[in-house]
A and B are shown apart, each in its own frame.
Chain A
């Protein structure tokens, strides 16, 4: 049977229209996902200069938990300093992160050394886990659906690295549907292998906003092996540009 040309045109127009609508829908959804992770970034890491103190506790089965504490100096989304405070063997060690470049100052060398971003700080916590919260800068985000967990609805987002240099190849992130607070996340390597999972916990007011002040990182192969990052204090303070130069680290040690 031969379909009239006008009908074929109409069908083509409808298909094209649906296609366009689908594209617009995807674009809006992605735009929304981008806005969501920007919001998550702002909750975790306000775009200001601030200092914070952080305690990291590493728990392994049948072992005494290990604790260390650090001072963070954060300038916007791209610059961070992690300064070892305790234990004494960590004192004077400093990490500088500028975008995706990282230096370590070691007192027994008295010199800054360039290191890679994935180097572990303690337990499951990498330098990036502690000092970098820039999901919107590092990843392309897309909404992946919703989950109801313990009676609450969470948006599920899939984040894929914008470049091979960012800390993880991909992230699956759950955020509270209404408030957009982060709830939990899974972090993947470039091959798609899961590296760690985390939950955001202990929501407290810090510098005028309620924020997750505890991040618990789990070894995906051993749920009992976990590292807790506790943000113990945070205060806004202008930090000079020069602090964030590797040659200046010796003056901060």
Chain B
């Protein structure tokens, strides 16, 4: 109860902070005086063409004429194209190289990726979309430091990424097929973005778009200008993918396991309708506050490592459990500052415990994850984002591992744009206050041309190996990539 009160108090404080940011006094603009007009600064004939000397027709007459739909279009190119069937094809190709940095330097990635997408508009209310990913990583052929199961899992990838049909009727929309459903908008980590399973074989380092695993589902939406209602049904959910033992970002490090550990094969829930994922979200824009509430009847998409010890062997038998999640996302701009917050309450979660009386090594506890943050421009060229992230575990016991009663993280992101947007340096830093571990992600993107971009950066982990980031403290990497958009 004390923890619940502390969490509620914490939330109230965070909300007060958010409200204060939103209500912060900004000097009212009309207080200033414009400097005197000066003809010199304009030079001669800056405007190549002088404006007409005859006033246009009255606004109301013009608008009425346009709205009457009897207008003869003055430009052939301006005809309504939405009634004609169209097919657009586009995509990107990416070549990536990455190497583990530090005392055990090694090539970890030499990946070529081709991503192609097609959009077909049959009628204004019927549209098809599909995208495919083709990927080959030569690091698994050129080196021998990855075990065979890892090589099999990560060397090549050919997949239908998304494939769905959009049907629209008035304010109602149906999206049916393999798709991503996105509910959150936090920086660097996932919070309210809980609908789809995730591909975590590279931890959370790839683009979010590539981390989410698109799933066969139905997404029904009712949308008006300021309100939105959504129902999601995933009949046959898929589950998070992790790197196999021996891969660069596998959560299971053999050297950290007890001796004589035996893994049993994880059993995913059967493809039965009773194992569906169902969710709903309701959103409304009120006085600039963009508020969404959601509920998701889902699974803990990560296999839970139930385990037991028989005196000789340590048996791990991963299983999946149901999870109810509900929460909110909210954002608000005030001047140049964008404030946002997300909250997810997970009911029925399991956490690791070292309680000797516990038979399976996991204990059922509810927990809440929430984040409060703000985007703050530091100058014309530099943007920043600050986030405070917390997880509160309810009915906490000291035997619970990897979690405190209240876990706090802080993230800071600084991003700039220089050379007319051609040069984009960025630095993301996320640290756990409790575990004292951190992830630092310096990165520079340069636009060589409109189609070609190069990226260079590093993903640096530090700190306690029990921490979310510290577990990879010997897996720092530097990387470079070339991207081509078509």
A binds B: yes
The answer to whether A111 and B182 touch (CB under 8 A), given A79-B225, A89-B451, A192-B33, is yes
Q: Which of B27, B53, B207, B486 contacts A88 (CB 8 A)?
A: B486
Least distance between A237 CB and chain B CB atoms (Å): 6
Which partner residue on chain A sits nearest B91 by CB separation? A88
Give Cα distance in the complex from A248 to B224, angstroms. Answer: 9
> Closest chain B residue to A253 by CB distance?
B119
- Segment with Cβ contacts to A, from B77-85, B308-316, B393-401: B77-85
Q: Is the CB of A118 within 8 A of B74?
A: no
Contact B33 A247 (CB under 8 A): no
A110 touches B226 (CB 8 A): no
Docked Cα-Cα span, A79 to B285, in Å, equals 14
Which of B184, B208, B377 is in CB contact (< 8 Å) with A108?
B208
Chain A residues positioned under 8 Å from B27 (CB to CB): 164, 190
Distance (whole angstroms) from the CB of A136 to the closest CB of chain B = 11
Q: Is the CB of A206 within 8 A of B69?
A: no
Which residue of chain A is the closest to B447 with respect to CB atoms? A89
What residues on B are CB-neighbors of A182 within 8 Å? 51
Known A114-B185, A242-B225; contact A207-B485, beta-carbon cutoff 8 A: no
Q: Which of A115, A117, A164, A220 has the most CB of B within 10 A?
A: A164
Partner of A178 from B37, B53, B182 at Cβ < 8 Å: B53
Q: Are B223 and A242 in contact (CB under 8 A)?
A: yes
Residues of A contacting B227 in the complex (Cβ-Cβ under 8 angstroms): 245
Q: Is the CB of A191 within 8 A of B32?
A: yes
The answer to whether B459 has its CB under 8 Å from any CB of chain A is: no
B53 and A161 contacting across the interface, CB-CB below 8 Å:
no
Interface residue B1 (Cβ < 8 Å from any Cβ of A): no
Q: Is A194 an interface residue (CB 8 A)?
A: yes
With A150-B50, A242-B223 known as contacts, the answer to whether A66 contacts B333 (CB < 8 A) is: no
Do A169 and B32 form a contact, CB below 8 Å, given A89-B450, A100-B333, A102-B333? yes
Q: Contacting B35 at CB < 8 Å: which of A43, A92, A192?
A: A192
- A244 and B83 CA atoms in complex are apart in Å by 20
| Proximity string of chain A (211-228) to chain B, C-beta cutoff 8 Å, 1 when within and 0 when not | 110001010100100000
The minimal Cβ–Cβ distance linking A148 to chain B, given in whole angstroms, is: 10
How far is it, in angstroms, between the C-alpha of A126 and the C-alpha of B224 when the chains are bound? 27
Is B49's CB under 8 angstroms from A202's CB?
A: yes
B337 at the interface (CB under 8 A from A): yes
Answer whether residue B258 sits at the interface, using C-beta atoms and an 8 A cutoff: no
Interface residues of B in 53-90 (CB under 8 A from A): 53-57, 59, 62-63, 65-67, 69, 71, 73-75, 77-80, 82, 90
Q: Which residues of A contact B226 (CB under 8 A)?
A: 245
Cβ < 8 Å to B, chain A residues 14-35: none
* In contact, A161 and B78 (Cβ under 8 angstroms): no
Residues of B within 8 Å of A, CB-based: how many?
94
Which B residues are in CB contact (< 8 Å) with A122?
A: 420-421
Q: Which of B33, B56, B62 has the largest number of chain A CB atoms within 10 A?
A: B56
B333 to A114, Cβ gap below 8 A? yes
CB of B286, distance to nearest CB on chain A (Å): 11
Contact B74 A205 (CB under 8 A): yes
Query: For the complex, what is the distance from the CA of A123 to the CA of B380, rounded to whole Å?
Result: 12
Known: A89-B447, A114-B185. A212 touches B51 (CB 8 A): yes
Segment 184-210 of A: residues with Cβ below 8 Å from B: 184, 186, 188, 190-192, 194, 197, 199-203, 205-210
Q: Is the CB of A208 within 8 A of B57?
A: yes
The interface residues of chain B lying within 8 Å CB-to-CB of A66 are 420, 450
C-alpha spacing A185/B137, complex, angstroms: 54
Determine the chain B residues whose CB is within 8 A of the CB of A205 once the complex forms.
74
B75 touches A179 (CB 8 A): no
Task: Flag the segment in A3-11, A127-135, A152-160 that touches B.
Answer: A152-160
CA–CA, A60 and B90, complex, Å? 29
Contacts of A183 in B (CB 8 A): 47, 50-51
> If the complex has contacts A101-B333, A123-B420, A208-B65, are A161 and B90 also in contact, measured as CB distance less than 8 A?
no
Specify which chain B residues have a CB less than 8 angstroms from the CB of A211 in the assembled complex: 56
**A20 CA / B361 CA spacing, docked (Å):** 85
Proximity bits, B182-210, A CB within 8 Å = 1, else 0: 10110000000100000000000001110
CB contact between B67 and one of A48, A101, A109, A160 (< 8 Å): that residue:
A48
From A223, which residue of chain B is reached at the shortest CB distance? B43
Interface residues of B in 23-47 (CB under 8 A from A): 26-30, 32-35, 37, 39, 41-43, 45-47
Q: Would you give the shortest CB distance from B174 to chain A, in whole angstroms?
A: 11
Contacts of B32 in A (CB 8 A): 160, 169-170, 188, 190-192
Q: Which residue of B lies closest to A246 (CB)?
A: B290
In the assembled complex, how far is the CB of residue B435 from the closest CB belonging to chain A, in whole angstroms?
27
Measured CB to CB, the nearest residue on chain B to A89 is B485
Shortest C-beta distance, A50 to chain B (Å), equals: 8
CB B348 to nearest CB in A, in angstroms, measures 26
Query: Separation in Å of the A48 CB from the closest CB of chain B?
Result: 5
Report the separation of the CA atoms of residues A183 and B71 in the bound assembly, to the nearest whole angstrom. 27
Kindly state whether residue B437 has any CB partner on chain A within 8 Å.
no
Q: Which residues of A contact B335 (CB under 8 A)?
A: 116, 164-165
Pair B51/A181 contact, Cβ less than 8 Å: yes
- Once the chains bind, are A178 and B55 in contact (CB under 8 Å)? yes
Q: Are A200 and B51 in contact (CB under 8 A)?
A: yes
Name which residue of chain B comes closest to A194, CB basis.
Answer: B35
Q: Are A116 and B50 in contact (CB under 8 A)?
A: no
Complex Cα gap A108–B212 (Å): 11
- Closest beta carbon of chain A to B83's beta carbon, Å: 10
Bound CA–CA A182/B51 (angstroms): 7
List A contacts of B63 (CB < 8 A). 46-48
CB-CB contacts below 8 Å: A225-246 with B: 232-237, 240-242, 244-246
Jot down 10 A-B pairs with beta carbons below 8 A, ordered by A.
A43-B56, A47-B59, A112-B185, A190-B26, A192-B35, A199-B46, A200-B51, A201-B48, A202-B48, A241-B171
Give 7 new A-B contacts, CB below 8 A, not counting A48-B67, A208-B65: A102-B333, A110-B180, A181-B56, A200-B51, A208-B71, A209-B56, A235-B75
Shortest 5 CB-CB distances between A and B: which pairs? A87-B450, A181-B51, A161-B29, A233-B78, A242-B223
